[in-house]
Amino acid sequence: MTQTVPRLLLIDGHSMAYRAFFALPAENFSTTTGQTTNAAYGFASMLINVLRDEDPTHVAVAFDVSRASFRTEQYPEYKEGRAATPDEFKSQIPLIQQILDAMGVGWLTLEGYEADDILATLATQATEAGFETLICSGDRDALQLVNEQVTVLYPVKGVSELSRMTPAAVEEKYGVPPQRYRDLAALVGEKSDNLPGVPGVGPKTAAKWITAYDGLAGVIASADQIKGKAGENLRAHMSDVIRNGQLNKLVTDVVLAKSAGELRWEGWDATATAELFQVLEFVTLQDRLRTQLGQRQIGDIAEVSPVPVVTARLKLLGTGELAAWLSEHATDTTVGLAVEGRFAAGGGGIDAIALAVEGEEAWCDPAAFDGSDEAAWLAWLADADAVKVVHEAKQLLWAAAPLGWKVAGITCDTALAAYLIRPDLRSYGLDVLVERYLGRQLGPVVEEEAQPTLVGLDESGPGEAAATLARRATAVHDLAAVLVKELESHNADELLTDMELPVQRVLADMETRGIAADVAHLSDLAASFAAQAAEAVTDAHAAVDQQFNLRSPKQLQEILFDKLGMPKTKRTKTGYTTDAEALASLFAKTEHPVLAAILRHRDVEKLKQTVDGLLASVADDGRIHTTFHQTVAATGRLSSSDPNLQNIPVRTEAGRRIRRGFVVSQGFDALMTCDYSQIEMRIMAHLSADAGLIEAFNTGEDLHTTVASRVFGVEPGAVDAEQRRRIKAMSYGLAYGLSAYGLSQQLGIKPEEARGLMDEYFDRFGGVRDYLRSVVDEARRKGYTETMFGRRRYLPDLSSDNRQRREMAERAALNAPIQGSAADIMKIAMLRVERALADQGLTSRLLLQVHDELVLEVTGDERVAVESLVREQMSAAATLAVPLEVSVGFGTDWDTAAH
């Protein structure tokens, strides 16, 4: 200890935890089991910081027991009106208390009193005992305790930045000394405590009165002398002021289980914190404890502590040295591989390579390879028996393709592995995963003894850049070992090796190939959409006889609600919403031409943006190289970007015009499109084993007509278009977890009518009803859903006390097995088609996968063979209780190839 005077650190537990809860996004902080941990993490991080910075001898944290206290007995409306405490926050208070136990920090509660009263009592005891006291709290009531021995650490930003409120700081900010802050609060009131103050009286006026009349008692006694409206308000609300002054006063003599002198902090328990932080998945906090509070550690680090950084020997390989290093270090072992360069779907380049095994790292520049280096590198890279682990391996595949490098032996991509374990993470960046699973940071190692030994490093060499890339290779090496074990425990190891890694390679090939674009057609289309947008603007101006900016929400509100007096939409912070759904609803009610023009303008603007994005994406080779993503959708479906090919409308004329810009390239005769017919409904039939639904598919008739005939009790020939539309919406809605209300919105009918339609559907197809119920029940019991192929999606909110979150999780539970199984089948189909094309030596090739559709480029002489091959391979991708039907079409562009 460095202090000669004891120093007591007091923390308002609920206050600081609540601030942490809202400072850190909940979606970024949860355990594998679904426990939200943002408040606990933020509180623990704050505690480590303040213990480090203040070096206290004594520590305690006070918590509220409930909102009920002696103050609510005196004034039942006290703190009334506060929003209900979020369930996600309440569940974290016990976690914070466990953290305090592990860190050797005492915590106290007292029935009938607030945490502030506990802190006030301890601060008073400490002052009398000659302690220096620090109170960490976001409650301004604590400011009345400030004196020469007591300082309040008040949070300025979240819980990471604290302001020191000394007597001088309090007086500078509020205009009164700390002992009179309670007087100021009595006059001004406290909204969060539901204590109304004097109307029109703010802190400056209150401070002026308190100074002029020597405190609140003087203000009350001299109330008749205070002039103006403020004086009238004071006299009218005198009872509120007196009550506020009574309730604001903190109790300084409550009876506690421990006194200030009994709160000595001996240090944090290394074993207990390691075990707890492992469960909470706070992977970086144990390292922070060790590096920032190592002198206050009790005991040894437990076996479950985060994976330590292994000191590695980094060798900067010169020309002619790679073969020997590979022979010595990269044989019969797993090698972490990291590359640096330029990566794009259409190609790229590699500027540096780093390799890592246990305790050894190597860095080399491929531009400096001699013949022996290149031969050794190419042989090792192409060797399927040379085990390699990579992060986001597709970048390596992109860059290797134009160089003619063959890549084999990748047994783990750490991004894909983590995705299969936790498909709901917001990021699969290497730095994020290293923190989460290894408990360390990817950046430079702090400890001097852990710095790598740089062999061959000189001032003119690559230096830190080489060490940084080598650290990435080591991190991938270590991370892969942890993730592979996790995959095995989730029964997902085969999904990685047999599905995701092979699909990744097919996607990389497709991205490298790209698809030819008709630039002239797309340019004409962009001009056409621009002209239509301009025409819509003219029509909108004419409809109201006034010019205005159709993109400005403020001006739209003025036109629609002020000038035209239309019914108000949903209230927002800036007025009333003018989003597309609201305007469409307004148009349905009013049919005003200005709304028709605005909606038309938005539609063509969106289409123009899509076409502009496509034009900007055309590479020098005249082709569009989209990027496919495997780790975005939690259900396993692929997505695409740069450009996004999944947002091009399929069933509209405008969408078809856009698709005509994707064309067959020279050397091929046609584009071929092939997709599954009603795959989600076929999976529904299979999983539910509903005899009626299975029979509907096996009859070969139109599914929705057949189902409608059974639901409505009419012959198939008597089913009208509206009945078929309703049943189609119903069938797909059930597969995607649609509620009765959602169905009513989709069909434009009343919720009770939608509920009746669902009931009739389930009366005819009881197997579907039973299956949907069992899916949710089983997911709630196990904590996750599963596709036909074992892909899991964890849904902890199925047990949430929050009804909205629970119902969202239930809909996801209904959707995930069906949509996820469809995604898995599509991936298997891709692999089978690509493999069969190669096995038969065909030149026709896969170009795109969009939703449930594959797009190929075929030559005329292979057309028949390729169609037969694709139908066979896609139909055999899964064995269902109903056939997997495949539709095929040919054309010179994507639209005309549709079927």
Q: What are the extents of the domains in the chain?
A: 7-262, 268-298, 313-514, 516-624, 691-764
589: which 2 tokens?
A: 């009610």
- Identify the pLDDT of residue 732: 81
Helices (H), 189-321: 203-212, 216-221, 228-236, 238-248, 270-280, 285-292
- 696, 707 Cβ separation under 8 angstroms: yes
Task: State the Cα–Cα distance between residues 355 and 315, nearest whole angstrom.
Answer: 10
Q: β-strands 150-157, 161-165: how paired?
A: antiparallel
Helices (H), 650-764: 653-659, 679-688, 691-698, 703-712, 721-735, 740-747, 751-764
- 596, 482 Cβ separation under 8 angstroms: no
Question: What's the sign of the alpha-carbon dihedral 653, 655, 657, 663?
Answer: negative
- Identify the pLDDT of residue 749: 81
* pTM for this model (two decimals): 0.69
CATH code for the structural domain at 313-514: 3.30.420.10
Task: State the Cα–Cα distance between residues 260 and 6, nearest whole angstrom.
Answer: 10
SS3 (DSSP) at 515 = strand
Task: Give the residue from 819, 793, 817, 516 showing the smallest Cα distance to 676.
Answer: 819
- 646, 844 Cβ separation under 8 angstroms: no
Q: How many CA atoms lie within 13 A of 567 on its CB side?
A: 13
- Identify the pLDDT of residue 83: 67
819: which 2 tokens?
A: 């949509």
b/e map 220-246, b = 16+ CB within 10 Å = beebeebeeebbebbeebeebbebbbe
Domains 7-262 and 313-514 share a fold: no
| Element housing 468 (H / E) | helix 464-489
Q: What is the mean pLDDT of each run of 10 residues along the chain (899 residues)?
A: 77 91 79 79 92 93 86 81 75 90 92 92 94 93 93 84 91 92 90 85 90 90 87 88 88 91 90 81 77 75 44 86 94 94 80 94 94 96 97 93 93 96 85 81 46 42 82 95 91 96 96 96 96 96 95 92 91 83 90 95 94 94 94 92 87 91 96 94 93 87 83 87 85 76 80 86 88 90 91 82 76 89 97 97 96 94 96 96 95 92
The residue with tokens 């682990």 is 389
Question: What's the sign of the alpha-carbon dihedral 565, 571, 575, 576?
Answer: negative
Cβ partners under 8 Å of residue 285, min gap 6: 41, 44, 45, 48, 273, 277
- Identify the pLDDT of residue 801: 66
Cβ partners under 8 Å of residue 383, min gap 6: 408, 409
- Identify the pLDDT of residue 311: 56
The residue with tokens 């029509």 is 539
- Identify the pLDDT of residue 81: 64
- Identify the pLDDT of residue 366: 94
- Identify the pLDDT of residue 304: 37
Please name the fold of domain 7-262.
Rossmann fold (3.40.50)
Q: What one-letter code names the amino acid at 896? A: T
The DSSP code for 569 is -
- 15, 71 Cβ separation under 8 angstroms: no
CATH code for the structural domain at 516-624: 1.20.1060.10
- Identify the pLDDT of residue 264: 93
